[in-house]
């Protein structure tokens, strides 16, 4: 078997069914699925893969990726604060018939609303961080926010410094998931 | 023997063993479908409480007492806001519930769990910090902030926490990095009646994901506060969306009260807030804006 001379393989666009009870999580996950170039379908029956937020109740007709619960029965098991890149990779892998796990699933933790005195981001830095969380590159973030790539880079550097983050995933975890809350 | 010894170490040991013996009848193991064994606390003779965050989505479970006897139980209600799941027993268990007590900072405490066969597991610690009432990320109000210098591993939360006199402080819960917290007995007692009656605890809902941000110097001077809560998402058809709130708005006050911190807003969304009108003061593109929202009930997950 030889791959030499074969055209570059295209990234498959999947049909993904989404199961998420919380409306805000639902919208966020929808954005991540679409951001990966996949389509969201209504019924599990017509999906290549099912993305389930929280505990899955049953078996689906397609492989499922669950967020936030250790359910060994499913193809993909990710923490609830998995990044857009991780979710996208897990959907592709599960649809291809693979099993996806993280090295160690964080144990559940009952937490207070975060009132920490850590340096706050500005509204613009927050928008840039939200774009990073949706898996956008600096270029795509610049397009979304209607600002130059150079300005995005400036904000990224500033928010990394404030959060003490070393990678984009680190910034999203430290900066966004810990402080974001729903009411 | 040890109990009448004058050796303080033996006296301490005997006191801990005696507090353990008095708590023994409260400790239960819980066998639930698709879940590793969990621990629980017998709260009333027909009711067990356990940790909601580790409890699987299930309608029923089996309660195992320390002597190995098993009783069927029905999931009567769960509240992620206070981390309590209530399990109604099919037949009552006779037990002596210890008096509740307030913890003292630095005092010795015992936490209990059970293994899969119901055998008790004990840990000794001290009250590491005590604070006032606080709000969880799920929006629940916990009457007192009690942390212990202990770490709980999987399946160990949900059991009783007692002081050296054997008095009941509350139910253990795993906080950040597995550090033990206590859900005070008074909070459990307050949450149980609505939980059993309706299966959940209704709380107010705005339908917005909020994020604390720093306001620019110019803006802070103008409105007299240096932080606000930026709206990152609004739930379709939720109270915020209906009121006209859009992503990018910065919430600076509700009902005339400044909100710069998450806990400041949580206070306005307790069970009694549902149906209330709330005035939202927002910054949109640098200008101040006032919208009126009607608080709805938080949808169940």
Pick the CATH number of B204-297 from 3.40.50.300, 2.30.42.10, 3.30.450.20, 3.40.50.720: 2.30.42.10
Average pLDDT over residues B258-277: 86
Q: Exposure pattern of B67-100 as b/e (b: 16+ CB <10 Å)?
A: eeeebebebbbbbbbbbbbbbbbeeebeeeebee
Determine the Cα–Cα distance for residues A30 and B199; give it in Å rounded to an integer. Answer: 29
Q: Which of A63-77, B156-170, B287-301 has the highest mean pLDDT?
A: B156-170
Between chains, do B211 and A24 touch, taking CB under 8 Å as contact?
no
CA dihedral B4, B8, B11, B12 (to 10 degrees): 180
Q: Kindly list the domain boundaries of chain B, sorted by start residue.
A: 14-198, 204-297
* Fold designation for B14-198: Thrombin, subunit H (2.40.10)
**DSSP string of A1-26, one letter each residue:** ---TTPPPPPPPPPEEEEE-SSHHHH
Q: pTM here?
A: 0.81
CA dihedral B103, B18, B100, B146 (to 10 degrees): 30
Between chains, do B53 and A110 touch, taking CB under 8 Å as contact?
yes
Q: Is A97 on the interface with B (CB under 8 A)?
A: no
> For residue B116, how many C-alpha atoms fall within 13 Å in the half-sphere facing its CB?
5
Average pLDDT over residues A74-100: 90
Between chains, do A27 and B262 touch, taking CB under 8 Å as contact?
no
Which residues have C-beta within 8 Å of that of residue A103, sequence separation ≥ 6?
none
- Partners of B206 on chain A (C-beta within 8 Å) are 183
Name the residue with higher pLDDT: A145 or B187.
Answer: B187
Respond yes or no on whether ipTM tops 0.85: no
Q: B179 is written with which tokens?
A: 């550090």
Minimal Cβ distance to B54: which of A108, A115, A119:
A108
The confidence score (pLDDT) of residue B2 equals: 46
Determine the Cα–Cα distance for residues B48 and B42; give it in Å rounded to an integer. Answer: 4
Q: A10 is written with which tokens?
A: 């295209």
Interface test with A, best of B58, B211, B274 (most A CBs within 10 A): B211
Between chains, do A183 and B139 touch, taking CB under 8 Å as contact?
yes
List of domains in chain A: 15-101 (3.40.50.2300), 123-177 (1.10.10.10)
Q: Is A59 on the interface with B (CB under 8 A)?
A: no
């Amino acid at each position: 078997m030889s791959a030499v001379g074969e055209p570059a393989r295209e990234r498959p666009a999947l049909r993904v069914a989404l199961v998420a009870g919380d409306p805000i999580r639902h919208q966020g996950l929808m954005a991540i699925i679409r951001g990966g170039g996949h389509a969201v379908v209504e019924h599990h029956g017509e999906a290549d893969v099912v993305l389930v937020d929280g505990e899955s109740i049953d078996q689906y007709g397609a492989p499922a990726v669950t967020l936030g619960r250790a359910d060994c029965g499913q193809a993909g098991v990710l923490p609830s604060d998995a990044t857009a890149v991780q979710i996208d990779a897990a959907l592709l892998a599960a649809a291809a018939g693979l099993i996806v796990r993280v090295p160690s699933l964080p144990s559940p933790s009952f937490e207070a609303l975060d009132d920490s005195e850590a340096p706050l981001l500005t509204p613009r830095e927050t928008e840039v961080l939200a774009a990073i969380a949706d898996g956008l590159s600096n270029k795509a973030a610049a397009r979304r926010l209607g600002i130059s790539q150079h300005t995005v880079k400036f904000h990224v550097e500033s928010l990394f410094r404030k959060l003490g983050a070393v990678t984009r995933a680190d910034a999203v975890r430290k900066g966004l998931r810990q402080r974001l809350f729903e009411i | 023997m040890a109990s009448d010894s004058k050796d303080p170490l033996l006296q301490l040991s005997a006191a801990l063993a005696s507090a353990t013996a008095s708590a023994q009848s409260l400790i239960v193991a819980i066998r639930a479908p698709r879940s590793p064994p969990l621990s629980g606390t017998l709260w009333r003779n027909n009711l067990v409480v356990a940790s909601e965050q580790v409890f699987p989505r299930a309608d029923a479970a089996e309660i195992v007492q320390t002597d190995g006897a098993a009783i069927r139980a029905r999931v009567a209600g769960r509240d992620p806001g206070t981390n309590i799941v209530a399990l109604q027993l099919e037949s009552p268990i006779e037990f002596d519930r210890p008096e509740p007590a307030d913890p003292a900072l630095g005092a010795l405490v015992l936490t209990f769990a059970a293994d899969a066969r119901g055998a008790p597991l004990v840990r000794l610690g001290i009250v590491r910090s005590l604070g006032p009432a606080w709000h969880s990320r799920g929006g629940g109000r916990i009457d007192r902030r009690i942390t212990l210098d202990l770490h709980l591993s999987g399946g160990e939360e949900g059991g009783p926490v007692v002081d050296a006199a054997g008095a009941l402080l509350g139910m253990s819960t795993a906080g950040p990095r597995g550090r033990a917290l206590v859900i005070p007995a008074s909070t459990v007692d307050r949450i149980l009646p609505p939980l059993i009656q309706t299966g959940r605890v209704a709380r107010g809902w705005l339908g917005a994901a909020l994020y604390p941000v720093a306001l620019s110097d110019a803006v802070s001077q103008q409105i007299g506060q240096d932080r606000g809560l930026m709206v990152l998402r609004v739930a379709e058809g939720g109270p915020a969306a209906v009121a006209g709130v859009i992503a990018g708005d910065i919430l600076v006050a509700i009902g005339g009260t400044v909100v710069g911190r998450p806990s400041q807003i949580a206070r306005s969304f307790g069970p009694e807030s549902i149906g209330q009108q709330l005035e939202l003061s927002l910054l949109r593109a640098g200008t101040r804006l006032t919208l009126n929202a009607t608080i709805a009930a938080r949808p169940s997950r």
